[in-house]
Amino acid sequence: MKIASRLYCIRHGILCGLLVSVTFFGCAANQTANISQGQSEMQSQNHVAALESFREVRKREPRNLVALLGESAALGEIGHLKEALKVLDDALILSPNNVTVFYNQGILNMQLGRFRAAESCFSSAIAINPEWADLFWSRGTAYDELAEWDKAISDYNEALHLNPHNANVYNNRAKTRLSMQDYDGAMADIEEALRLDPVHPKASGIKKEIEELSETSSRGRR
């Protein structure tokens, strides 16, 4: 299954919400203004202008972590994924145990098709914050792309333990179980996804696929 169907439900936009975990403490007033402007431009989908705002901060303060994270987010949104990863490498030097940096590195690596690297990034993030459900959801997606189904199921289980109301995780686990030809388990998961989100953009199509494959399998056993 293509990555677009498995990953992008994690975040609507590459790194939305990126700057939530960092603060403006210690920033000069004009730097804070530029960062606020960059955040506003990101929310308005004006990613090129946001990139310029964050880079303006870094001209004065090359080690400003907030600006580094913002620059990486903007680069990712305009499709400069490898450059965005390089900026995150700089951020990791400044903040070696920053769960947000590892998480965003994982997302970018997923988009680049570097699934093993993504898995490693998500694992590093989980070691720092094992209570963040999205990390297990994301790593489960990486394991899916690597066809490591049992590991994917284990991570989706943990994601649902931490947040049992996420229809997207049920949707992903249903697709994993479908790959494992566990049609009953897949159907149970997709029905739960639809119960939680009756208008889920992908669940109805997956349910139909499960029904068709299950019927084909049943005929084959007759």
Position 179 in a domain: no
Task: Note down the domain range covering 75.
Answer: 3-164
The CATH number linked to 159 is 1.25.40.10
At residue 138, the pLDDT reads: 97
Total domains in the chain come to 1
At residue 28, the pLDDT reads: 53
User: What is the block-wise mean pLDDT of the chain (222 residues), using blocks of 10 residues?
Assistant: 33 38 46 87 94 93 92 95 96 94 96 98 98 97 98 98 97 97 97 96 94 82 61
Position 185 in a domain: no
Helices 203-221 and 167-179 meet at what angle, rounded to 10?
A: 30
Position 196 in a domain: no
Position 190 in a domain: no
Position 188 in a domain: no
> pTM of the predicted model, to two decimals?
0.84
At residue 34, the pLDDT reads: 86
